[in-house]
Structure 1
């Protein structure tokens, strides 16, 4: 009987492009199948799909069903090897995709963090710039207020100085005016007194030291409106003589030369004290 071997090495040579893991699996399965088929007690009753067997020409001719079964085993082994290779390729591709996805995710996360950091730095810079601008504006306002306050104080000081100067000048003018008015009053009072003295007729009872005080009402033209004794000398004849002297004078034209204010203040209602001192008796 002629025998031919369906040996595992035939598969190894046929599938040289398989990965090492696949070749190792096929080799192990082939050895197991070889051992089983070489056992005279088992090879007629058992066929393993994963293990290559020795097939004799006589057996193939006598049992075509067994040959088909062995061919199916060979085909299934080839399909399994192809499927395993496909799974490994898919697993490798999946791992590559996952690695690329992880890398892209890390890159995107880094970009997001960098963008976030940039935005935060930009926001901080803008906030710092705004705060600096507000501080500069506040300082400018403070300086402007201080400048305006200095101007106000300087203006106030100038106004106060000017007011003090004006007041001093006014007081000086008033003092000078009062002094001038006092001299004018003395001058015009002397004129009135001398005029009354010229018109006085000395009564027999008059004596040195007698004093009569008269209230004389005048108008700006110097004309006498009224006269009366407001403080008697104690001698009726003396008092009447003085009053008559004023009435005889009747008018003091010199008074027209004084100012209206001085006339109103000192001569409209004139108080005249008449006290002769040069009487012989």
Structure 2
């Protein structure tokens, strides 16, 4: 046991000595290196500015003009030399100078001016006459329509007094009857132009016209009026017209 302790102390001493030796070597080497570096003379460096030589530009080459293509000399035409011009007054061309041909338009023969007022006067007079005729015709038509209304009212009243509606008559029925009158108001003929579809209703209308004759008032406005409006007359019968 004592031997182990001595061995441990020997190891410790040896380690201490070894570390001291390593430290000494390091310290000595560092101091030696420092002295050696200091002992070397310091080289003096002088800084100077040196211009960097610029590369010399290559001499420019003279641009040789391209040779123009040679053209054969233009052929000089022999032209007559202009004659000497003498100042002079330029006259305006007169009507005798030739003008460009103008295409002639077809000419219309105008009527003589002296006859125009006569034509206008005649046209105006004819217009006045036409207006008078139209106005007169309108007046005559209005009068005639008024006379027809008076005649129709008398005819309906006289026929209605003789018309008896049959039991088969219904609203909506219509019978159209054609009548031929004589100038004295007598009935020449009565025919059914359009039937109502009910024969009894048709016969009642024909019978009413025949029993209502004569119609003396038809000549109240003269023969021309009668021939135009009542020589041949159409009469329409409806059941609802009978009151």
* TM-score using structure 1 length: 0.44
**What is the aligned residue count?**
134
Corresponding residue for residue 156 of structure 2: 193
Given that 1:196 and 1:246 are in contact with CA atoms closer than 8 Å, whether structure 2 keeps it comes out as: yes
Corresponding residue for residue 261 of structure 1: 224
Task: Give the one of 199, 203, 209 matched to 1:240.
Answer: 203
Q: What is the alpha-carbon distance in structure 2 between the residues aligned to residue 152 and residue 166 of structure 1?
A: 21
Corresponding residue for residue 225 of structure 1: 188
Q: What is the alpha-carbon distance in structure 2 between the residues aligned to residue 274 and residue 250 of structure 1?
A: 17
Q: What is the alpha-carbon distance in structure 2 between the residues aligned to residue 271 and residue 191 of structure 1?
A: 15
Runs of 4+ in 1 over 6 A off after TM superposition: none
Corresponding residue for residue 167 of structure 2: 204
SS at structure 1 position matched to 2:240: coil
Given that 2:163 and 2:205 are in contact with CA atoms closer than 8 Å, whether structure 1 keeps it comes out as: yes
SS at structure 2 position matched to 1:165: helix
Corresponding residue for residue 132 of structure 2: 169
Task: Give the one of 169, 176, 179 matched to 1:213.
Answer: 176
Cα gap change, 1:177 to 1:210, in 2 (>3 Å):
same
Q: More helix per residue: 1 or 2?
A: 1
Structure 1, unaligned runs of 5 or more: 1-145
Distance apart, 1:160 and its partner CA:
1.3
Distance apart, 1:277 and its partner CA:
1.6
Q: What is the alpha-carbon distance in structure 1 between the residues aligned to residue 114 and residue 186 of structure 2?
A: 60
Cα gap change, 1:185 to 1:278, in 2 (>3 Å):
closer
Structure 2, unaligned runs of 5 or more: 1-109
Cα gap change, 1:278 to 1:213, in 2 (>3 Å):
closer
**Which one has more relative contact order, counting CA pairs under 8 Å at least 6 apart?**
2
Let me know the Cα RMSD of the aligned residues: 2.2
Task: Give the one of 235, 244, 249 matched to 2:212.
Answer: 249
Task: Give the one of 233, 239, 243 matched to 1:276.
Answer: 239
Q: What is the alpha-carbon distance in structure 2 between the residues aligned to residue 216 and residue 169 of structure 1?
A: 36
Given that 1:193 and 1:272 are in contact with CA atoms closer than 8 Å, whether structure 2 keeps it comes out as: no
Given that 1:215 and 1:270 are in contact with CA atoms closer than 8 Å, whether structure 2 keeps it comes out as: yes
Distance apart, 1:216 and its partner CA:
0.2
Given that 1:199 and 1:245 are in contact with CA atoms closer than 8 Å, whether structure 2 keeps it comes out as: yes
Given that 2:179 and 2:235 are in contact with CA atoms closer than 8 Å, whether structure 1 keeps it comes out as: yes
Question: Deviation string for 1:219-244 (max 9, x for gaps)?
Answer: 22222111111111111111101101
Q: What is the alpha-carbon distance in structure 1 between the residues aligned to residue 166 and residue 229 of structure 2?
A: 30
Cα gap change, 1:220 to 1:201, in 2 (>3 Å):
same
Given that 2:185 and 2:216 are in contact with CA atoms closer than 8 Å, whether structure 1 keeps it comes out as: yes
